[in-house]
Amino acid sequence: MEKIKVGDIFNENVRFTQENVNKFAECSGDNNPIHINAEYAAKTPFGKPIVHGFFAGAVFSKVFGTQWPGEGTIYMFQEMAFLAPVFVEQNYIAKFEVMEVNEEKHRGVIKCTLESEDGKIAISGGAKLMHKERF
């Protein structure tokens, strides 16, 4: 298995559906109408429903646990700043860049962003992971 090193990058395309936003609202208990009621959301500054911040940020967990580094990843820390709304049925790119690696402890610090297709950053943050084989 190839080691992940400082400067490595990984990108994942992502698109959120209203159906999945509704499911997240149900399972999380966050049923704020700005996420699930188009009439209500139309009267907000966003003009339409927005994706829950933590649901949008869940793409980071998905990638870490299933793709890069993948199975065996231990998630140790995540910070996120919500800088712009994320809308359903629009394309986004989750971008990852390795900032630090501690091979002795098998840990990596990853910069994480979620960007719209035109490059506007919606979520910016960082994570610390442990993976015995990849770091």
Q: Taking the domains of the chain in order of start, what are their residue ranges? A: 9-130
pLDDT at 83: 98
pLDDT at 11: 98
Largest CA distance in the chain: 54
pLDDT at 102: 98
pLDDT at 52: 98
Length of the chain: 135
| 1 has a pLDDT exceeding 90 | no
pLDDT at 13: 98
Using CA of residue 115, residue 88, residue 42, residue 80, what is the dihedral sign?
A: negative
Q: Tell me what the mean pLDDT of segment 92-96 comes to.
A: 98
1-5, 85-89, 113-117: which has the minimum mean pLDDT?
1-5
Give me the chain's average pLDDT, please.
Answer: 97
Phi-psi category of residue 22: left, alpha or beta, with phi > 0 → left and psi -120 to 50 → alpha: alpha
Q: Tell me what the mean pLDDT of segment 35-60 comes to.
A: 97
- DSSP-based three-state secondary structure for 38: helix
Tell me how far apart the alpha carbons of residues 115 and 15 are, in angstroms, rounded to a whole number.
11
Other C-beta atoms within 10 Å of 32: how many?
13
Q: What is the CATH number of domain 9-130?
A: 3.10.129.10
Kindly indicate the confidence band of residue 14, based on its pLDDT and cuts at 50, 70 and 90: very high
